[in-house]
A and B are shown apart, each in its own frame.
Chain A
Amino acid sequence: MLDAPPRPLVEVTDLKMHFPIHTGVFRRHTGDVKAVDGVSFSILPGETLGLVGESGCGKSTVGRAMLRLYEPTAGRVVIDGDDVASLSPEALRKKRPTMQMVFQDPQASLNPRMTLARIIGEPLDEHTAWPKAKKLERVYELMDAVGLNRRFANRYPHEFSGGQRQRIGIARALALNPRFIVCDEPIAALDVSIQAQVVNLLEDLQEKLGLTYLFISHDLSMVRHIADRVAVMYLGRIAELSPRDALYARPLHPYAEALLSAVNEPDPVRAATRRRIILKGDVPSPANPPVGCNFCTRCPRVFGRCRVEKPPLQEVEPGRFVACHLFDNTAAGRTGASEVPEHNQQGVTQ
């Protein structure tokens, strides 16, 4: 009983986010962009799950659909005991303080006509009944926490640099003491010198406040720095979900292998011997994904079965989940995804 695994804070089960395509004179519904097509994972309290993939693979959509900034097409997103995907609008609003998001573009995501104090303090107006002085005290406290000078409280977002704006975005997200924060490429729009500051700030805050992160990024080295476990996405599905060190040392899924071979190696001796895997062709359209494995059109190790059958995400080594027929450790008779045991879909380290 002592080594029972802790209950995950976030459990995503078979999340699907399809955007309808309307075409023709009468704008009939003719298809769907399957931005996210059956994604399952879970995040333990205090853990950071990195979500990587090339642009357009649906990683930002996962983050937004999880917080119901989009209405998910299907699936369950249980955050701290409630299924966010099915809450009523009012209950969802009450739930919002638990789960927050740090956005990619710190300029566009802040209302240009609000001062810093109002941006950070607005959630408090909505979700607390505190007196004004207490709210202001909290705003100052948050500004201290993210390293913004208190004198800036009455300035507008455009008066700050990119890194400072991202700090405002983080302070805003922290205002209501969330337990779970989706960081949607929080450093993509920042200078490299500022990126490290913001990532370190996020790590410090995690340690101090016991936060749980979903860290979405295409910057593989940054994810390596911050994440405990990493999920690699390709075309709306998770290709591999593994502990960070294991993944970076020995990626299992051919796509993860190709992706990680692109990480720059600072050591010139090792860099000389680095073997890069160059994928050929383009990512298929998410409106019309391949019948079999989503990666079958570009996979260097493709074989017959890949083109007809989608591989389910299954645990191939302790804690390592891969969606690839190469690693199918089940009996040959085992086929469809429906037969995969439930705990394998969760992607939890057991």
Chain B
Amino acid sequence: MLTYTLRRLLVAIPTLLLISLVIFLLVDLAPGSPASEIPLTVPAEVKAKMIEAMGINEPVHIRYLLWLKQFFWTEPLYAIDAAFGTDFADNAPRIISYSSKVPVIDYIAERLPQTLIVIGSAYVIAILIALPIGIYSAYRQYSWFDQIGTFVSMVGYSVPTFFTGLLAIIVFTSWLGWFPSIYNTSLRVVDWASFKQQVTQMFLPVAVLALFNAAELSRYTRSSMLENLSQDYARTARAKGMSERTVVLKHVLRNSLIPVITVITLGMPAIFAGAIVTEQVFKINGIGAALIGAIHVNDLPVVQTIAFITAILIVLFNLVADILYGILDPRIRYD
């Protein structure tokens, strides 16, 4: 397993380098340039100096290699310095946002908590809802519970979040006035009152996202359970005289969870990338909103960095999913 993991990590390096090149070129070659964001009233020689300062007069391969060096070498040094109070980075140039002129990594670190809290808790709640529904739906296939569960899942999965989000705002904010429609990023949880406020403002975005994720997960759980419930070993367990609870929760569920856990793991990078649409709808100042904002103002370093970090996480969680699969299913061995 260790050899396998190391080998996979080594294979990931060229993969990620290729992805970084593709992302860099795609973003760079897309129409629109940071220079076009400079107002026309700025004199030509000043404009030329600004362009030089941003480093965008260099040819594309130089800029790519520079960005690569900054991402993989300079930024980690800064991270080490920040953690241990050392001075390895020695004021080397960092990846700087074109529009806000702050280091991109700091910008992301600022946005990340909101995304992790909202999207992360939506994901956790979705898992907690989806598993019991999926299990019971499969156990009582074609019952009323299953029919309703299937219907709700279909609706939850097929209706986009910008629709359910707006619907929730109309119903719960405009009509009922129970929850705010705008997420207040600067709220600090210090006491019970502010905690309650935080829960209230998280409720709608979390509910909308959880519905969407739970719909998908409960379908996976249900089909996986159904497949295993009809397996011969479930019949064996009943013939052994195991209680129904043991048969379903011990024998069948443990085998059914293998693919479900894979799906859950593969969905993890999305928590970092943020739910772009939901963050827009509820005005959550997270990573998704940062990405959209950066795209609007041609802030290439921000777009490239966020896209690339997401790519790293996807590659990483694919590996984690494969390793989990190997741990959970004794039939799979990576040697």
Contact = CB atoms under 8 A, between A and B. Distances in A.
Q: Specify whether A and B are partners.
A: yes
Interface of A: 64, 67, 69, 89, 93-97, 100-101, 103, 105, 108-113, 122-123, 126-127, 156, 158, 169, 172, 176
B100 interface: no
B254 A172 contact: no
B54 interface: no
A158 B330 CA distance: 8
Contacts of B238: 69
Nearest to B238: A69
A275 B235 CA distance: 42
B241 A126 contact: yes
Interface of B: 231-233, 235-244, 246, 251, 254-255, 328-331
A142 to B, nearest CB: 13
B240 A96 contact: yes
Given A89-B244, A96-B240, A122-B240, 16 more contacts: A67-B239, A69-B238, A69-B239, A95-B241, A96-B239, A105-B232, A108-B232, A109-B233, A110-B236, A112-B255, A113-B255, A113-B330, A122-B242, A126-B240, A158-B331, A169-B236
- The majority secondary structure among interface residues of chain B is helix
Contacts of B255: 111-113
Contacts of B244: 89
B256 to A, nearest CB: 11
A156 B330 contact: yes
28 contacts: A64-B235, A67-B239, A69-B239, A89-B244, A93-B243, A96-B239, A96-B241, A100-B240, A103-B232, A105-B232, A110-B233, A110-B236, A111-B233, A111-B237, A111-B255, A112-B255, A112-B330, A113-B328, A122-B237, A123-B240, A123-B242, A126-B240, A126-B241, A126-B242, A127-B241, A158-B330, A158-B331, A172-B240
Nearest to A122: B240
Contacts of B240: 96, 100, 122-123, 126, 172
A272 to B, nearest CB: 43
A96 B231 CA distance: 20
A172 B239 CA distance: 10
Closest 10 CB pairs of A and B: A96-B241, A109-B232, A108-B232, A156-B330, A111-B233, A123-B240, A158-B331, A109-B236, A93-B241, A101-B239
B231 A108 contact: yes
Contacts of A100: 239-240
B231 to A, nearest CB: 6
A112 B331 contact: yes
A126 B246 contact: yes
Contact of A108 (B233, B246, B331): B233
Q: Which of B240, B246, B254, B329 has the most CB of A within 10 A?
A: B240
Nearest to A123: B240
